[in-house]
Amino acid sequence: IINVGGIKYCIPWSTLEEFPLTRLGKLRSCSNEAEIMDVCDDYDGSRNEYFFDRSPSAFRTIVTFLAAGKLRLLREMCALSFQEELLYWGVEENNLDWCCLRKLRLRQEEYKEQQRLEEEDTERRLRDMVENPHSGLPGKIFACLSVLFVAITAVTLCVSTMPDLREEEERSGAVRRVDGCFLVVVSGVFKRCHNIFILETVCVGWFSLEFLLRFIQTQSKCTFLRTPLNVIDVVAILPYYITLIVDSLSDGGKTAGSGNNYLEKVGLVLRVLRALRIFYVMRLARHSLGLQVLGLTVKRCTREFGLLLLFLCVAMALFSPLVFLAESEMGAKQEFTSIPGSYWWAVISMTTVGYGDMVPRSIPGQVVALSSILSGILLMAFPVTSIFHTFSRSY
């Protein structure tokens, strides 16, 4: 007696001889109760009844197949669910009639296509969230959090150099400062400011998660890693982890006796790495249309920028010797000691910055200075007009 979902069937063993690989066929070959329990869900030896917690409607069709050799899909049952029942009972789906088998194949293809569309929809939502702030509320929240963490990082970098913070650290413990990089010395172990380190860790954790999400949703990983903004992300994130490695090496390997040279080298590395944190600010280009247009303008105006650089180099090579000769001939060359030393003055004058650190004292030198200033204004005006129009078109 076969009990499936509360419905009992009486199937002779002779019917199962033709289907030894089915679950019921394996049940016929069982010799002890342990083997029987491996095949069915429960067994009552007194009544010789086998229990299966499966769909009775699907089993009714399978019984018809075992008895008459006809196997067809049920209208009231999902084709994929019926396929699972066939798999459980050990019946090959190829035994279905050709029309039912075709319906099953079509349903399988529809299911695979639906899964693919759902995966693409999930990837699209993830892509919109991390790449397009205007896609919806998740994108706006994600963009706001990213900008917030960039601002926190910039503020933390500035606060870490304030004199009040240095004095507080000096009062709390012995401090060794190397050009703004704080190393608190406690029994030979070097630690940075604890609060700033926590803020930096949280920010870097967010940036790392954001980078990982962008990397996951992209289709071309190589193209992703070559994108300028993603390169900036790597340059901004890696210094934190490298700093942790350098700190751990400095903690484990050196003592105070071997001390000062190694500490200076560690301080140099940490200063360089901490300076690279300023690249976090450039991540704002992801969420600012103006910054993106500026980058696109620079890319499109490479030729104009090259032309501007050429103009400045030619003018610099012209006015630097002139001002040096004018000042040296008039005996006022205290500041213009050489032609290469005059290059700085020529660039500052042509760009109309005028720091005032190098000033021509003689009349001929002042004439040369006036000429360089006017030339700089004219030279920069030519390509700047083209760059402005390119920016306007891009915006």
- What are the tens digits of pLDDT across the range 302-353? 888 888 899 899 999 999 999 988 888 776 667 788 888 899 999 999 988 8
Predicted pLDDT of residue 370 = 93
Q: Is 7 helix (H, G, I), strand (E, B) or coil?
A: strand
Write phi, then psi, for 220 (nearest 5 degrees): -105, 105
Residue 213 scores a pLDDT above 70: yes
Residue found by looking up tokens 């008039």 in the block:
330
Query: What number is the average pLDDT over the span 192-213?
Result: 83
Predicted pLDDT of residue 298 = 86
Q: Report the share of the chain in percent with pLDDT over 70.
A: 80
What fold does the segment set 2-105 form as a domain? Answer: Potassium Channel Kv1.1; Chain A (3.30.710)
Residue 256 scores a pLDDT above 50: no
Which stretches within the chain are classed as H helix?
13-16, 23-28, 33-39, 56-68, 79-89, 98-131, 137-159, 163-172, 194-217, 221-226, 228-253, 259-275, 289-300, 302-329, 339-350, 363-394
Residues carrying CATH 3.30.710.10, the chain? 2-105
pLDDT digits (tens, 9 = 90+) for 263-287: 566 666 666 766 777 777 777 777 7
Predicted pLDDT of residue 177 = 44
Pairing state between β 49-52 and 42-44:
antiparallel
Residue 254 scores a pLDDT above 90: no
Pairing state between β 175-178 and 49-52:
unpaired
Cα 228 to Cα 247: distance, rounded to the nearest angstrom: 29
Phi-psi region of 378 (alpha: psi -120 to 50; beta: other; left: phi over 0): alpha
Predicted pLDDT of residue 358 = 86
Predicted pLDDT of residue 321 = 92
Residues carrying CATH 1.10.287.70, the chain? 302-394
Query: What number is the average pLDDT over the span 87-94?
Result: 75
Q: Given pLDDT bands bounded at 50, 70 and 90, which one contains residue 189?
A: very low
Residue found by looking up tokens 């105070």 in the block:
256
Q: Given pLDDT bands bounded at 50, 70 and 90, which one contains residue 67?
A: low
Predicted pLDDT of residue 253 = 52
Q: Report the share of the chain in percent with pLDDT over 90.
A: 7
Q: Is 92 helix (H, G, I), strand (E, B) or coil?
A: coil
Predicted pLDDT of residue 171 = 53
Cα 246 to Cα 333: distance, rounded to the nearest angstrom: 48
* Inter-residue contact 372 to 343 (CB < 8 Å): no
Sheet holding 175-178, edge to edge: 175-178, 181-186, 189-191
Non-local CB neighbours of 181 within 8 Å, separated by 6+ positions: 267, 270, 271, 274
What fold does the segment set 132-286 form as a domain? Answer: Four Helix Bundle (Hemerythrin (Met), subunit A) (1.20.120)
Q: What is the mean pLDDT of the chain?
A: 77
Residues carrying CATH 1.20.120.350, the chain? 132-286
Residue 124 scores a pLDDT above 60: yes
Residue 156 scores a pLDDT above 50: yes
Predicted pLDDT of residue 132 = 78
Closest CA to 156 of 111, 104, 207, 112: 207
Predicted pLDDT of residue 251 = 58
May I ask the CATH class of domain 302-394? mainly alpha
Predicted pLDDT of residue 2 = 74
Phi-psi region of 316 (alpha: psi -120 to 50; beta: other; left: phi over 0): alpha
Residue found by looking up tokens 């076969």 in the block:
2
Closest CA to 305 of 391, 387, 379, 389: 387
Query: What number is the average pLDDT over the span 245-257?
Result: 59
Q: Is 151 helix (H, G, I), strand (E, B) or coil?
A: helix
Query: What number is the average pLDDT over the span 169-198?
Result: 50
Predicted pLDDT of residue 320 = 92
Residue found by looking up tokens 């610099």 in the block:
316
Predicted pLDDT of residue 174 = 42
Put simply, whether the predicted model's pTM sits higher than 0.75 gets the answer no
